[in-house]
């Protein structure tokens, strides 16, 4: 098996009170199936029942994968199951997955699914093996696995409209706020609690060309993920209750006015072409005061060899909007293919890969997870990798997490549609005009693909 270089993010321990508070929030969420087991009986579980089987995994390049594969010999020794795998970049991996599944060859037993892109497409195609029965089977699910230890948001992200569970969450990436802690301290400020306060702080920090107040993604398609926070915060939805486009609601125009307006007024020149890389680079070079994006980008900010602002970055949950306090999340999961000839052996593997011990390992390697208890693991707390407020921001964001993209078959096409609208609005087009066109194109897409 090939050892891959790790490129993840760090973590720092939190107090028992914080974890208990998060746990209470998770418990309050709608549990999808009665799968919490009693630890203590783990010694009776038979990990060797599929000894001699061989599995093939298709894995997308990801920090969680890079860490997980280091420990595969442990699973092989524990189970007697041989594991082979291939790691590909996400886009290339999805293309290969589609080709293999369309051909019906049955060569892929499990894969690291991007639920924010593949959830509905693979479900509609019948490519997910539902996991409900496996999770309920005490001979297949170890007593200490604890399905209820995953956050409510993570469980929702892997659950389909028909209540089938399509995967076991591996990595949940919430969007969080990054800000110049040193500048905030000089001004006596605290992180913004509302969008209005964020806008006010960005305006006061804005002093080009030395300092720009705010940045977020402007580039088509890439901008659809940070946009999710704005539209949710304004009270907008992607779909009506009967599955039609909801883009013609007034909240969409208000959201466009805010997002495009912030980038026009306070972002560096050329932001219309900024993906996460350009945003992160501008922030790390000390050119921007406030930035928000996926939490997994944070480790580079603390690396003095890459960042001019190492040690000067503050982290916080995104502020509340007029209608809601939400953090868009993007979830990956280990899933079993419906064509696998070794479904039960594959389930042993994916539950091992996502158990509490491996979640703690991921945290120690600097990769966030969607479970609750590993964040308070004593070893994790003893070896902090990131500032304390990064930890708090991550956990607070998980509590208000919500899937960041519409759960439709052609997510990529939606991202293109709204992405073009955002770009045009940044360039000066009227919000009403670009939203009306996006609504028309989105409804046409739904009519074509969601039958």
Full domain range(s) for residue 338:
16-172+330-402
Local confidence band at 42 (pLDDT 50, 70, 90 cut-offs): very low
- Kindly state whether residues 120 and 193 are assigned to the same domain: no
Mean of pLDDT values over 241-253: 97
pLDDT at 22 over 60: no
Q: Which residue has the tokens 């000390």?
A: 286
pLDDT value for 365:
83
- Let me know: does 61 contact 91? Beta carbons within 8 Å: no
- Let me know: does 387 contact 315? Beta carbons within 8 Å: yes
pLDDT value for 160:
96
β-strand partners of 294: 175
Angle between helices 388-399 and 16-28 in degrees, nearest 10: 10
User: How do strand 54-60 and strand 110-114 relate by DSSP bridges?
Assistant: parallel
Task: Please tell me whether residue 261 adopts helix, strand or coil conformation.
Answer: helix
pLDDT value for 385:
78
- Let me know: does 196 contact 352? Beta carbons within 8 Å: no
How many CB atoms neighbour CB 244 within 10 A? 15
- Kindly state whether residues 341 and 361 are assigned to the same domain: yes
Determine what percent of the chain is predicted with pLDDT higher than 70. 90
Mean of pLDDT values over 299-328: 95
268: phi then psi, degrees, rounded to nearest 5: -65, 160
pLDDT: which is higher, 40 or 186: 186
Local confidence band at 348 (pLDDT 50, 70, 90 cut-offs): very high
Task: Give the torsion sign (CA, 443, 444, 445, 450).
Answer: positive
- Kindly state whether residues 131 and 219 are assigned to the same domain: no
Residue 115 C-beta-side C-alpha neighbours within 13 Å? 28
- Kindly state whether residues 235 and 347 are assigned to the same domain: no
- Kindly state whether residues 278 and 334 are assigned to the same domain: no
- Kindly state whether residues 215 and 247 are assigned to the same domain: yes
Local confidence band at 31 (pLDDT 50, 70, 90 cut-offs): very low
β-strand partners of 327: 401
Is residue 272 one of the residues assigned to a domain?
Answer: yes
pLDDT value for 8:
32
Count, residues in the chain: 451
Is residue 292 one of the residues assigned to a domain?
Answer: yes
Please choose, from the candidates 323, 327, 301, 325, the residue with its C-alpha nearest in 3D space to the C-alpha of residue 312: 301
Residue 374: C-alpha distances to residues 12, 217, 296, 378 (Å): 11, 32, 18, 9
Number of structural domains the chain divides into: 2
- Kindly state whether residues 210 and 95 are assigned to the same domain: no
Alpha-carbon span 31 to 147, nearest angstrom: 9
- Let me know: does 390 contact 10? Beta carbons within 8 Å: yes
- As a whole number of angstroms, the longest Cα–Cα distance in the chain is 65
Most confident of 3-17, 112-126, 357-371: 112-126
Local confidence band at 23 (pLDDT 50, 70, 90 cut-offs): very low
Please choose, from the candidates 252, 240, 253, the residue with its C-alpha nearest in 3D space to the C-alpha of residue 450: 240
Q: What is the dihedral of CA 236, 397, 406, 267, to 10 degrees?
A: 70
Alpha-carbon span 396 to 400, nearest angstrom: 7
- Kindly state whether residues 205 and 156 are assigned to the same domain: no
- Kindly state whether residues 128 and 191 are assigned to the same domain: no
- Kindly state whether residues 60 and 106 are assigned to the same domain: yes
Q: How many helices (H) and strands (E) does the chain have?
A: 19, 9
288: phi then psi, degrees, rounded to nearest 5: -135, 140
CATH number at residue 437: 3.40.190.10
Segments in 48-179 forming alpha helices (H)? 63-68, 72-79, 90-103, 115-124, 132-136, 152-157
Residues 383-404 have pLDDT tens digits of: 877 888 988 899 899 889 999 9
Is residue 4 one of the residues assigned to a domain?
Answer: no
Local confidence band at 417 (pLDDT 50, 70, 90 cut-offs): very high
pLDDT at 80 over 80: yes
Q: What is the token pair recorded at 113?
A: 């699914």
Is residue 7 one of the residues assigned to a domain?
Answer: no
- Kindly state whether residues 301 and 374 are assigned to the same domain: no
Local confidence band at 101 (pLDDT 50, 70, 90 cut-offs): very high
- Kindly state whether residues 311 and 234 are assigned to the same domain: yes
Q: What angle do CA 120, 292, 243 make, to 5 degrees?
A: 25
CA 442, distance to chain mean position in Å, is 23
pTM for the predicted model, two decimal places: 0.81
pLDDT at 209 over 70: yes
DSSP state at residue 129? P
pLDDT at 21 over 50: no
Q: What is the mean pLDDT of the chain?
A: 90
Is residue 6 one of the residues assigned to a domain?
Answer: no
Is residue 162 one of the residues assigned to a domain?
Answer: yes
């Amino acid at each position: 098996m090939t050892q891959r270089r790790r490129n993840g993010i760090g973590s720092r321990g939190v107090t028992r009170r914080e974890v208990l508070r998060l746990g209470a929030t998770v418990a309050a969420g709608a549990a999808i199936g009665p799968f919490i087991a009693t630890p203590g009986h783990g010694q009776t579980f038979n990990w060797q029942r599929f000894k001699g089987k061989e599995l093939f995994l298709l894995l997308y390049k990801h920090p969680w994968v890079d860490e997980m594969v280091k420990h595969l010999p442990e699973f092989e020794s524990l189970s007697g199951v041989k594991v082979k795998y291939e790691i590909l970049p996400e886009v290339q991996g999805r293309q290969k997955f589609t080709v293999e599944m369309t051909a019906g060859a049955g060569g892929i037993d499990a894969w690291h699914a991007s639920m924010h892109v593949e959830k509905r497409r693979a479900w509609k195609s019948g490519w997910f093996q539902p996991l409900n029965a496996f999770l309920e089977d005490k001979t297949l699910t170890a007593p200490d696995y604890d399905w209820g230890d995953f956050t409510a948001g993570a469980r929702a992200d892997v659950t389909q409209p028909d209540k089938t569970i399509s995967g076991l969450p591996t990595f949940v990436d919430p969007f969080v706020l990054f800000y110049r802690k040193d500048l905030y301290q000089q001004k006596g400020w605290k992180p913004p609690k509302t969008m209005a306060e964020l806008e006010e702080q960005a305006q006061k920090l804005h002093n080009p060309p030395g300092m720009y107040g705010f940045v977020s993604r402007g580039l088509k398609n890439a901008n659809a993920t940070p946009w999710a926070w704005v539209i949710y915060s304004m009270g907008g939805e992607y779909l009506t209750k009967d599955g039609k486009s909801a883009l013609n609601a007034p909240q969409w125009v208000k959201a466009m006015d805010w997002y495009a307006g912030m980038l026009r007024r306070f972002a560096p020149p050329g932001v219309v072409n900024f993906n996460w890389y350009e945003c992160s680079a501008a922030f790390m070079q000390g050119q921007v005061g406030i930035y928000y994006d996926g939490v997994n980008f944070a480790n580079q900010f603390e690396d003095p060899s890459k960042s001019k602002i190492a040690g000067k970055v503050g982290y916080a949950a995104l502020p509340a909007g007029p209608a809601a306090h939400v953090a868009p999340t993007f979830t990956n999961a280990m899933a079993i293919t419906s064509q696998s000839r070794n479904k039960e052996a594959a389930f042993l593997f994916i539950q091992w890969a996502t158990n509490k011990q491996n979640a703690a390992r991921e945290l120690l390697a600097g990769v966030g997870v969607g479970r609750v208890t590993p964040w308070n693991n004593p070893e994790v707390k003893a070896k902090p990798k990131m500032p304390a407020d990064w930890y708090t921001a991550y956990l607070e964001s998980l509590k208000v997490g919500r899937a960041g993209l519409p759960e439709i078959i052609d997510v990529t096409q939606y991202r293109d549609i709204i992405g073009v609208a955002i770009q045009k609005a940044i360039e000066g087009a009227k919000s009403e005009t670009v939203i009306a066109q996006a609504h028309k194109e989105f409804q046409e897409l739904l009519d074509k693909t969601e039958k």
